[in-house]
A and B are shown apart, each in its own frame.
Chain A
Amino acid sequence: MDFIGQGFIKAFELLWTGNKEVYTIALLTIKVSGTATLISLVLGVPSGLYFAVSRFRGREFLVGALNAGMGLPPTVVGLWVALFLWRRGPFGFLGLMYTPTAMVIAQTIIALPLVAGLTMTAVQQLSPKLRLQILALGASPLQFWWLILREVRLGVMAAVMAGFGRVIAEVGASMAVGGNVRWYSRVLTTSIVLEVNKGNFSLALALSFVLLLISYSVTYWLTVLQQRRRQT
């Protein structure tokens, strides 16, 4: 059992002394997952709003796909993105395989249905008459969407937290399309798996602390923002 205690000590040492590799990995994790969450937010929130309010042919099919997408296995996403980005794949000419960009693409696909689906649910929880009331107040289409978004801001924040939480924790997709290349495409989850396989528990523990710290800090910051807005 000693090695667990030693692992903890080593982990704190690595963090305290500013181990370059640990911090490089942590920074890339934030960049990749943060960018993927941001893209999901930009694409997912308008889609969620639209799906919630609009009626069109094929809507049920799309909403069904969106809901199913919330549980997409990251490994499957990784596989499909890899197939498309592979040298002989349809987008192979872009040369994105085993790059952080490929990881962003895969993570966006994972987070997007979650952000869009939860936004849609949040809008659908509003009274349908509230939409009529906003129109009756004289809102233009742009003002209408802005006010609806403002009304569901807590739900949207929850969607962002869920999306970020999902992508920062995934391993399969990042491993498949990023390749876990040292100093280049290695993120916290993929390197934890690698270090565990090597029996290097101290580094794995250090990385796990950083992962938990990032995940908790971002979620905490979003929660504070969410609750503060609720009170105003």
Chain B
Amino acid sequence: MSAILSVKDIVAKRGRRFRLRIKDFAIQAQEVVALIGPNGAGKSTLLTILACLTAPDHGYLLFGDTVVTKKNALSVRRQLAVVFQEPLLLDSTVLENVSLGLKLRGQKDGAEEKALAWLQRFGVDGLADQNALTLSGGEAQRVSLARAFALEPRVLFLDEPFASIDLISRTSLVAEFKSVLTGTGTTAVLVTHDFSEVLALASRTVVLDQGKIQAQGTPEEIAADKKWGNLAKGIELNGMAIYR
């Protein structure tokens, strides 16, 4: 099976400091990969490189068999979607926000109907005409998820998407998200500090530390790992990234 996205020999630096050094990493179709690790491990850096938002200092990104370059980065990016920890909605109506990505990608016909359907799927269609900046945190993140799914991405990237939501809303949103993810068979990469999310959503877990991949396997394998199991249990208990 060929990978949808892969990185080869990538290095990312900030100044002289290495933030990421990965020899080989690939994402296969329909898998949900969770990236876990302590703060500063390089999870978000890897996510932005995979999502074609930043270029590595060395090495390259492959989309299928095609090397991603400055020239084709936009067309690759237009087949992906990203949800960040903050909803990052624009100063316009909810419906405009959700249909924006489709319009930017040249899919103007039926964009609003599609956007409305996804808003409905996440239970926020009643807010369609409201300014997106007036929503509560939970509502805004639902809109943000609807916006990403409306794009029908080949790979969906999520950078701690549930971290800023209160516990009660988070539980129901994770459940809804899981049902949508399973229903659509979307390939996803999830950065999280909450191992319960890993257990609920991921098919593969990748442990990053000091910019390197330290371990990978199913969430259960990572939880049972001598070294990294403690890390996993720690975050399951605390729901936070206090690993060591």
Between A and B, 13 residue pairs with Cβ closer than 8 Å are A130-B90, A132-B82, A133-B84, A136-B51, A136-B157, A137-B101, A137-B104, A138-B101, A138-B105, A139-B104, A150-B90, A150-B91, A151-B91
Q: Say whether A143 faces chain B, with CB atoms less than 8 Å apart.
A: yes
Q: Are A138 and B78 in contact, CB atoms less than 8 angstroms apart?
A: yes
User: Does B146 make an interface contact (CB < 8 A)?
Assistant: no
Contact-residue size bin, chain B (C-beta under 8 Å from the other chain)? 20 to 34
How far is A34 from B41 in the complex, measured between Cα atoms in Å? 53
Contact (Cβ within 8 A) B74 A140: yes
* Residues of A contacting B100 in the complex (Cβ-Cβ under 8 angstroms): 137
Interface size class on chain A is: 10 to 19
Q: Is B210 an interface residue (CB 8 A)?
A: no
Per-position binary interface string of chain B over residues 142-177, scored 1 when its CB falls under 8 Å from any chain A CB and 0 otherwise: 000001000100000100000000000000000000
Complex interface: chain A residues within 8 A of B157 (CB):
136
Contact of A129 among B74, B80, B88, B92 (CB under 8 A): B88
Chain B residues near A135 (CB-CB < 8 A): 53, 77
Q: Give the distance in Å from the alpha carbon of A194 to the alpha carbon of B81 in the complex.
A: 64
A139: which B residues are within 8 A, CB to CB?
104
Question: Could you tell me the distance between the alpha carbons of A53 and B31 in the complex, rounded to whole angstroms?
Answer: 35
Which of B's residues lie within 8 Å of A, judged by CB? 48, 51, 53, 74, 77-78, 80-82, 84, 86, 88, 90-92, 100-101, 104-105, 131, 147, 151, 157
CA distance A20 to B102 in the complex (A): 57
B48 and A138 contacting across the interface, CB-CB below 8 Å:
no
- Give the B-binding residues of A (Cβ under 8 A): 127, 129-130, 132-140, 143, 147, 150-151, 231-232
CB < 8 Å neighbour of B86 from A129, A134, A151, A232:
A129
Cβ-defined partner of B88 (8 Å) among A127, A150, A232:
A127
Please determine whether A130 and B53 come into contact, CB atoms closer than 8 angstroms. Answer: no
Residues of chain B within 8 A of A231, CB atoms compared: 131
A96 to chain B, nearest CB (A): 42
Given contacts A129-B84, A129-B88, A136-B82, 4 further A-B contacts (CB under 8 A): A130-B90, A132-B53, A132-B84, A143-B104
A130 touches B88 (CB 8 A): yes
**In the assembled complex, which residues on chain A have CB atoms less than 8 Å from the CB atom of B131?**
231-232
